[in-house]
Structure 1
Amino acid sequence: MVRTLVEEPEQQTGARGRGRRVLSVVLAVVGVGFAAWAALPLLGWDVDRYTVALVALTPYGVLVGAVLALAGLLLRQWPTALLVGLVTVLLAVGVAPRAVSSAPPARGGELRVLSVNAYFGQADAARVVDLVRRHDVDVLSLQELTPELVARLDAAGLAAELPHRVFHAGPKAEGSGIAARYPLRELDLVPDSTLAQPSALLERPGSRPVEVVAVHTLYPMGSDTHDVWRRELGDLGQVPLTGTPRVLAGDFNATLDHTGLGDLLGRGYTDAAAATGAGLDATWPAGWFPPPVVLDHVLTTAGITPQAFEVFPVPGADHRAVLATLVVG
């Protein structure tokens, strides 16, 4: 009996040791996988639809890395904790500033820009017009604008709020448009793209004119759409900056961690959400699966200072609407 009592604690200790070793091995494997995932945005390696999807989830990597690093410390797996901790810090350096406002106070004329992806024209027109009216919107960028949605928007009173427009309505996701409180003169800034991306010069009394582009690059997750998506993001960056302030507003189908959008920012654009501390406010999908990411943006050039950024649900749409308050100096 005494021998049995002595053996049982020894067996329990051995079982705990084996369990600890198994956990350590699992943690090491997961840690290496995490490092491989984190390397994608750090190295700019969004080369196909699968890596594009993984890169879109980069902000979640900071949370995942923190949990794994803590687990490594608790299990005293120092190499794993060190590797994961360093990678997590590198991710956080890129992600965390998006939640902190860096926008300086500015003087000039205020410009409110609303962007809505209407999901094949199914967005609730009354809700869109209500947002325009309630937030005193000056410019509305619409993606996936169908002729049927145009009719519903007008029935809801859009023309009374924003009487000037450059609409390229089309079936399903093909159409886009710009509506404004002030006169618009259509431009031809963006090269031909799969989905309409109209542009116009907004002319406001007592303020500098502003170029506006309704952006909608092709969805990159199709079996043959990734290269087109990358090219269309690149085409936006090739539009010459002439000194006239410019706003790009719409569904870029890209996050700030994708190389195409990063290159665009490097050419002189500012992301209004990130500049005002709202850069982690997800815009797609409208629900909670897949994990929400930031695909809709308002980008500005020199001469425009972002001041605020908000996100709103729109019934019938799979994206949330985004509203940027800008100052044109």
Structure 2
Amino acid sequence: MRRLRPVATVLAALGLLAGVVAVATSGVDIPRMIVVGPASFAPILLCCTVVGMLLALTARRWWVAGASALVLAIAATVVVPLYVADGDAPSGTPITLMQANVMLGEADSAALVASVRDRGVDVLTAQELTPEFVDALDDAGLGDVLPYRFVMPYPGGAGAGIYSRVPVTDGRELDGYLLSSVTARVDLGTGPVRVYAVHPVPPYPTPTAVWAQEMSMLRDELRTAAGSPEPVIVGGDFNATHAHARFRALLTDGYVDVGDAVGAGIVPTYPTDKSYPPLVGIDHVLVRGVGATSRAVVDIAGSDHRGLVVDLALG
């Protein structure tokens, strides 16, 4: 063990450094990739800290173990609440929403429609729609299940759309975004509900400052929507995790992440097209004035994202 102690000490120190980076970059709002990038992987960095602390204990490097425990305790104040549900299950008219990024229109349209049908989805929010993929969804029978829509497809996968079981009104595309984000009203029997399908640009390779600007624009849009008595549902590929201050800024004015509300915790959703598992949770559904009862993560065949299916309660 004495021979391995120096190695364990170095690894433990690196684990401590990883945790410090995770906590530091998650706690500040600095739109630079040197901050935003590490924050994206904060859960993985904190796992390294756990391993490092165990190595420090084994090697009897008590100061490293103690410092690691302190870093993990600080992180726990943010992470643990994500795994605790918000009180009793809400009552109201049940609806099911699916959020799906279809990877530049290359996802399996028939499989997506089958998933919508099998899960009884009432509303679908989708990103990276192309005109060809919209046609493919029609050919696969999506209109038989969700006959109403507001879609803005674009070549190259820059589109977005909302599909619904009930009529869609007052649809518009949000101004100023490089990738399409849209909003519309639906009435599922309890009055109008404002629905968004959003897609801020990623912080890389897009300039991080552009990502930060779009996240701020989205915060302003949702703040304006909060001024109405209408419930709001926001499905999207946010290209941001809970560790990003710009994402947490969206969770104000009464907005909550469905995953947080039901205690589902951190679930990676991207990328799914690699030889390794998904690393980051950048797909979310936010609600305001709407109860949340469950969130499931589902595979989207042919996409590089996992989808979300959430059960909500209106009224």
Give the alignment's TM-score, normalised by structure 1.
0.88
Pairs within 5 Å for 1:298-317: 298-301=285-288, 303-317=289-303
Please list the CA deviations of residues 108-139 of structure 1 after superposition, one character each: whole Å capped at 9, or x if unmatched.
11121101101010010011111111111111
Residues 242 and 248 in structure 2, CA contact (< 8 A), matched pair in contact too: yes
Q: CA RMSD in A?
A: 2.0
SS at match of 2:197: strand
Residues 61 and 88 in structure 1, CA contact (< 8 A), matched pair in contact too: no
What letter matches 1:294 in structure 2?
G
**Unaligned 5+ runs, structure 2:** none
2:15 paired with 1:23: no
State the distance in 1 between where 2:200 and 2:87 align. 27
Which residue number in structure 1 is paired with residue 262 of structure 2?
276
What letter matches 2:157 in structure 1?
A
State the distance in 1 between where 2:100 and 2:108 align. 11
Residues 191 and 235 in structure 1, CA contact (< 8 A), matched pair in contact too: no
TM-superposed deviation, 1:251:
0.3
After TM superposition, the structure 1 stretch with the greater mean CA deviation from structure 2, 285-294 or 238-247, is 285-294
What letter matches 1:297 in structure 2?
H
SS at match of 1:144: strand
After TM superposition, the structure 1 stretch with the greater mean CA deviation from structure 2, 101-110 or 315-324, is 101-110
Please list the CA deviations of residues 279-299 of structure 1 after superposition, one character each: whole Å capped at 9, or x if unmatched.
322211114537521110000
Please list the CA deviations of residues 159-199 of structure 1 after superposition, one character each: whole Å capped at 9, or x if unmatched.
11111100100012311010100111134484321111110
State the distance in 2 between where 1:142 and 1:288 align. 25
Which residue number in structure 2 is paired with residue 213 of structure 1?
196
SS at match of 1:266: coil
SS at match of 1:310: strand
2:152 paired with 1:165: no
TM-superposed deviation, 1:277:
2.2
Q: 1:149 aligns with which of 133, 154, 164?
A: 133
Report the CA distance shift for 1:29/1:59 in structure 2 as closer, same or farther (over 3 A). Answer: closer
**Unaligned 5+ runs, structure 1:** 1-15
Please list the CA deviations of residues 254-283 of structure 1 after superposition, one character each: whole Å capped at 9, or x if unmatched.
011101110010232100012112232221
2:229 paired with 1:243: yes
Pairs within 5 Å for 1:91-102: 91-102=75-86
Which residue number in structure 1 is paired with residue 213 of structure 2?
231
After TM superposition, the structure 1 stretch with the greater mean CA deviation from structure 2, 242-251 or 101-110, is 101-110
SS at match of 1:298: strand
State the distance in 2 between where 1:18 and 1:316 align. 49
Q: Which has the higher helix share?
A: 1
Residues 116 and 141 in structure 1, CA contact (< 8 A), matched pair in contact too: yes
Q: Matched residue pairs, number?
A: 310
State the distance in 2 between where 1:92 and 1:297 align. 21
2:314 paired with 1:293: no
Which residue number in structure 2 is paired with residue 136 of structure 1?
120
State the distance in 2 between where 1:203 and 1:264 align. 24
TM-superposed deviation, 1:35:
4.0
Q: 2:164 aligns with which of 180, 189, 195?
A: 180
SS at match of 1:229: helix
TM-superposed deviation, 1:102:
2.4
Report the CA distance shift for 1:199/1:74 in structure 2 as closer, same or farther (over 3 A). Answer: same
TM-superposed deviation, 1:202:
0.5
2:305 paired with 1:322: no
Which residue number in structure 1 is paired with residue 180 of structure 2?
196
TM-superposed deviation, 1:28:
5.8
Structure with the greater alpha carbon radius of gyration: 1
Residues 173 and 181 in structure 2, CA contact (< 8 A), matched pair in contact too: no
Give the alignment's TM-score, normalised by structure 2.
0.92
Q: Percent identity?
A: 33
What letter matches 2:156 in structure 1?
K
Please list the CA deviations of residues 208-254 of structure 1 after superposition, one character each: whole Å capped at 9, or x if unmatched.
210001010101111x4211111111111112111211011010000
Residues 150 and 171 in structure 2, CA contact (< 8 A), matched pair in contact too: no
Q: 1:64 aligns with which of 34, 45, 48?
A: 48
State the distance in 2 between where 1:132 and 1:54 align. 35
TM-superposed deviation, 1:49:
2.6
After TM superposition, the structure 1 stretch with the greater mean CA deviation from structure 2, 49-58 or 262-271, is 49-58
Which residue number in structure 2 is paired with residue 5 of structure 1?
none
SS at match of 2:103: coil
